[in-house]
Amino acid sequence: MKTRSFLSRRAFTGLASVAVLAMASGPLFAAKKLTVGFAQVGAESAWRTAETDSIKAEAAKRGVNLKFSDAQGKQENQIKAVRSFIAQGVDAIILAPVVETGWEPVLREAKRNKIPVVLVDRGIKVSDDSLYATLIASDFIAEGKMAAEWLAKKVNGKANIVELQGTPGAAPAIDRKKGFEEGIKSQPGMKIIASQSGDFRRSGGKEVMEALLKKHGNEINAVYAHNDDMALGAIQAIEEAGKKPGTDVVVVSVDGVKGAFESMVAGKLNCTVECNPLLGPLAFDAVEKAKAGQKLAKKTIVEDKVYDQATAKDVIASRQY
């Protein structure tokens, strides 16, 4: 009887151990859930909101714990957010930098803590490019050139242009200006008669355009805006000044948001150069590869297209942002 009791106890103990292991095989042995910090510029435009939504949706789809920070257009807020992410021990950081410079100290902190940083939509200037894993962005210079080439054909190489610039020091503002200037270099009849920042905001575009119309009046026959929101603000100002946008003043911009397509269908905006904000899938692909120790290309170029009034009606229903 004693032997039988001893065997029963051993059998019970073995079964209990198996049960414990079976219960532990779930959460205990499951792959660790990634925690990623996302330092966003702000919500200054429809494009920016679409990018934020894309990052958040992709994080949810992949089961990533996303920590989000809106810098409200201020670099100091982004730097604080990145330092907070580092202190919290996130697995990776996605950063859409407000401006190009001033990032080295905080990115060195991330590197010391072995936290990869993936840049989205805007590049930075650093002395050591190992401070970030990769940049996923459009070619802003090419966008500026495409806008210039489209406008040159539209106005037969003759135009007095006002330029609405983006945030000073931001990569898209710098490069879209450079690309546009290169694009009109061979067109002596096309001149930028005024250039001012509207900070990528619709209200800024309207305010700047109002001032430029008061100063230059009927001299202006074309507007080049660094983003659609400023262009839409400028269109309001042109209408309030008693002119017809799209006819009296040709308006070309960059981004390709839904509002721009609606304005083209209405005959007010003439052309927009797409800059795709749906970067969530590419950003998290890069995060996963960086965490796995895979080598990443230093830059991934997102391909863009040109849309004008002739094509807007056919594609507006398919636009995702």
* Residues 186-219 pLDDT 10s: 999 999 999 999 999 999 999 999 999 999 999 9
| In the chain, domain spans | 35-137+277-302, 140-276+308-318
Q: Of 9-13, 132-136, 304-308, give the lowest mean pLDDT range.
A: 9-13
Q: Tell me: the pLDDT tens digits for 97-130?
A: 999 999 999 999 999 999 999 999 999 999 999 9
Percent over 70 (pLDDT), the chain: 90
pLDDT of the residue at 31: 61
Is 70 exceeded by the pLDDT of residue 22?
Answer: no
pLDDT of the residue at 320: 85
For the chain, the C-alpha Rg in angstroms (whole number) is 26
CA atoms within 13 A on the CB side of 252: 28
pLDDT of the residue at 7: 38
Nearest by Cα to 48 from 225, 231, 279: 279
d(CA 82, CA 107): 8
Is 60 exceeded by the pLDDT of residue 17?
Answer: no
d(CA 13, CA 8): 9
Q: Tell me: the pLDDT tens digits for 41-55?
A: 999 888 999 999 999
d(CA 262, CA 285): 32
pLDDT of the residue at 19: 41
Mean residue pLDDT of the chain comes to 91
Is 60 exceeded by the pLDDT of residue 2?
Answer: no
Choose between 230 and 320: higher pLDDT.
230
Range 35-137+277-302 has CATH code 3.40.50.2300: yes
Which pTM value belongs to this model?
A: 0.83
Q: Tell me: the pLDDT tens digits for 60-78?
A: 999 999 999 999 999 999 9
3-state secondary structure string across 87-108: HCCCCEEEECCCCCCCCHHHHH
164 three-class SS: strand
CA distances 66 to 286, 292, 295, Å, are: 15, 19, 24
Q: Tell me: the pLDDT tens digits for 212-267?
A: 999 999 999 999 999 999 999 999 999 999 999 999 999 999 999 999 999 999 99
Q: Are strands 271-274 and 306-308 parallel, antiparallel or unpaired?
A: antiparallel
pLDDT of the residue at 13: 42
d(CA 300, CA 135): 6
| Same fold flag, 35-137+277-302 and 140-276+308-318 | yes
Superfamily of domain 140-276+308-318: Response regulator (3.40.50.2300)
